[in-house]
Amino acid sequence: MLSRIAESLFWIGRYVERADDTARILDVQTQLVLEDPAANEAATCRAVLSIMGARPPGDDDLDVTRLVELLAHDQSSPESIAACLQAARESAWRARETLSEPLWVAINTTYRAIDSGSFRAMRRDRGLRWVRDQAALINGTADATMTRDEGWQFFVLGRTLERADMTARLLASAALSPGHAWTTTLRACGAHEAFLRARRGLEIDREVVGFLLLDRLFPGSVAYSVTGAERCLANLESDAHRAGVESDARRILGRARSELEYRSVNDLLADLPGAMDRFQRSCAAATDAITRHFFAGSEALAWHGTRQ
């Protein structure tokens, strides 16, 4: 497969996942602020910007309206939903000849709502729900219409790496927040109902962190996502009949996963922000290794700082 096509498919997976995760975080956090009169609106908004690696504005005038503008609608901000969906559409255009017609239509139709201003005109809660629905449509269409070839492996590789990175960011942020907002974190990961069924509603530190980090059956957990990324890399390596340089990413991810799996949850809890920071660095290093050895260049919208 041409490196240009492979890179485009990898970043379609990442951009769509990033838009979906950003919409979930914004939806949960803005509802929390609006429903809790005791919540510090400016502090919560700055915490959300920190999760997303976005630099907060220089002034103190930060509220929910401005947060939604920065992370949902501002196409000049690389962390925004609009910028991610625009980038996904540009990547899809570069890989147009390899995409199924339904997948191209799903991506292009989603972007047209951004470009036309329809997304901006939606009420906040409806707009964020629309983003989640469109991400599900794109991913579902890809699942149903893409041949399980190299292109599919790159698409899923991007999606799983982004999901693992985002879950780690949310856990680090929750650990640094007063009172550890675990219910909010579960909802932002789309994991609350699955957690209640699996852990019988015991929303304590150990149970939540263990579920979001190590659960092997929930697709949003770090372990599940990293295992999926490693599987994609193994398949790509096998398909290419090559060994060596492209295995760097697998080694990086394998070490990162092992560091989580072979430590007790109590040990992880004692240094959760540090452990998540190291994991995020591993994700960035794995992305660099993938870019160097599979792609001719990088079209990434780079994540920025991750810790408060």
Residue with tokens 């949850």: 265
Is the per-residue pLDDT at 38 higher than 90? no
Alpha helices in 189-221 (DSSP H): 192-199, 205-214
pLDDT digits (tens, 9 = 90+) for 168-197: 988 888 876 655 578 888 988 999 999 999
**Looking at per-residue confidence, does 244 or 141 come out higher?**
141
**What is the secondary structure of 252-308 as a DSSP string?**
HHHHHHHHHHTS-HHHHHHTHHHHHHHHHHHHHHHHHHHHHHH-SS-----------
Q: What is the pTM of this model?
A: 0.90
User: Which helix H or strand E contains 191, and what residues bound it?
Assistant: none
Listed in sequence order, the residues at least 6 apart from 254 whose beta carbon sits closer than 8 Å to its beta carbon are 230
pLDDT digits (tens, 9 = 90+) for 192-209: 999 999 987 666 888 999
Number of separate helices (H) and strands (E) present in the chain: 15, 0
Rounded to whole angstroms, the Cα distance separating 171 from 209 reads 7
Coil, helix or strand for 251? helix
Return the C-alpha torsion angle 277, 279, 285, 286, nearest 10. -160
Show the tokens assigned to 150.
Answer: 């190299």
